[in-house]
Structures are given as structure tokens and as C-alpha cells.
Structure 1
Amino acid sequence: MLRYTECSPVRVVGAASGRAYVFSAERPVQAVARADAQALLATRFFRLA
């Protein structure tokens, strides 16, 4: 589970899985494929939930 730390909606595509994730202030916490989590956590926009 990752938490999006910003307010603006964002759509990201997992580098490993190719799966699309849509995060927003209304839906900041979502399950993310383990293979995609490391790349997202390397940014300042996500942290572990």
C-alpha cells in the first residue's frame, strides 16, 4: 500500500507491470504491485501507507 502525498490527481504507469494507477487527494492510498513500488517510492510523491 502506497500513499500519494500531493493533492493534484495523477496517473502513473508502473515501470515493471505496466499497470496504471490513479491517485488523488480523494484516493491517496492504494495497493501497488510490489514490482512497481520501488520506483514510485524513489520519488518524493509517494510513501508507504
Structure 2
Amino acid sequence: MLACRFSALFAAAISKFQLCYINLILKCRIHKFFKKRGIYGDKHAAP
């Protein structure tokens, strides 16, 4: 019973972590994409 509950908790934690990780990668990719396009305007502006 305890092992079953633990594995369910573990699976939930992993899926949450994966979501955060994917979100982080997407944000980073989008940021790099816009930076390359120069949409942020001034090249001397803060990253």
C-alpha cells in the first residue's frame, strides 16, 4: 500500500518536473529566437 502511494507521488513529481523543464527550454528557445531576430530593439540593451 505504502509503495503504491509512493510510486504515485513519485510519478506526479516527475511529471511536474518534466513540465517545468520543458517550459524552461521553450522560454530559452523563444528568447534566443527573438534575440537573433533583433526584436528587442537596441543591441546594447540588457539581455
> Is the TM-score greater than 0.5?
no
Larger radius of gyration: 2
Q: Judging by fraction of residues, say which structure has more helix.
A: 2
Q: Judging by fraction of residues, say which structure has more strand.
A: 1
Give TM-score, length-normalised by structure 1.
0.24
